A and B are shown apart, each in its own frame.
Chain A
């Protein structure tokens, strides 16, 4: 951190801000207990722009829990998670504005159509959307089904609606929990394509999955849960 020896001038502000806030998600000595079980013991890692982190582990090892803790939804018992130097415990609006989450459940209302679901998602973003909704729906392959209630769509199509949500705005952090679930081969290709585009733009991806995903040339760090850390 730069040592301030004179009053800040406006140009200093910019310089100090960019030096104090690199886009890094850092985790230090994270301990997560659920009931009697310790899911996470003294876990530490860092993920920066353009990097992906894969959370691996067997069923029930706590992958979902860890992802949720990183988004701020779940509760950590000890340790710190920091984004741009600021701890998650402060529950800041800034953090929530910087992330997108795709959980086990899609977060898709079955009573609404994909287009309407995206309308809700963009309302919740609280900022103008970066891309045209029609373009997004086309990219995820839902343009023909955009007006049908999601209850009438297949599981894979509902998953694609959820994927479309990720494309609404340019957020730095993507948290994906079992993103490949319900996707067919074309869907998997779509997802990997989306991830690579996101990483190339300086984004960060944290995902939990059993399968190995090839995101070359972007580095994929790995965290293994369930074994003694």
Chain B
């Protein structure tokens, strides 16, 4: 098992592995998301306060969750790439960044859309939305730095440092934004675990989160394939692969 895991670090082996696994994950994620949406949009009752508007939670919360998961994946892969000098780890970081940024953006947009019927404005400086916004800036900074270098390896390693510094900062940022929010008693968009959520609400939510994770995994594998092809374009195995098709 461990040997197989080790072989995964080799780009050609990984490429073939991803090629086989990705479609399964993609279809599975589609099924799970559809199940979650059915549970959330049809089966669960409308909220007594917000009517049907709250249902956007089924997209907003999983997106926010994935956006943070993606950052952790990015930072961990960056650390692995720096410590063990694995090229594939840096490819994982580079692939996770735009994906994570997109999920962050989705979380912000859905949060904003939720805000309109709830509070009458498209944007509220609520703690979670503000944290998501800062997370988006962290992602954009990483992507900008990664592409700023002529030598790809240097770019990978420099942005790896940034990712790790960002990861250390993320809990501090969350804490400070929360603190700032309580200071000014702003509105809360998400009625979290503190409020009671009946099972017919949180079960579809967890199903959606699981579906989003599968989607993320499938998408990551595909992106990684592209990254690997790009980075290894001068090697024999890539030439052979491209020559075949």
Contacts and interface: CB of A to CB of B under 8 A. Distances in A.
Interface of A: 34-36, 75, 77
Interface in B138-153: 150-153
Contacts, number: 8
A35 B234 contact: no
A75 B234 contact: no
Nearest to B153: A75
Contacts of A35: 150-152
Interface residues of B, number: 6
Interface of B: 150-154, 234
A34 B153 CA distance: 9
B150 A36 contact: no
8 contacts: A34-B151, A35-B150, A35-B151, A35-B152, A36-B234, A75-B153, A75-B154, A77-B153
A77 B153 CA distance: 10
**A-B residue pairs, 7 tightest by C-beta:** A35-B151, A34-B151, A35-B150, A36-B234, A35-B152, A75-B153, A75-B154
B175 to A, nearest CB: 35
Nearest to A34: B151
A75 B152 CA distance: 13
A34 B151 CA distance: 6
A187 B154 CA distance: 37
Contacts of B150: 35
Nearest to B152: A35
Nearest to B150: A35
A65 B225 CA distance: 32
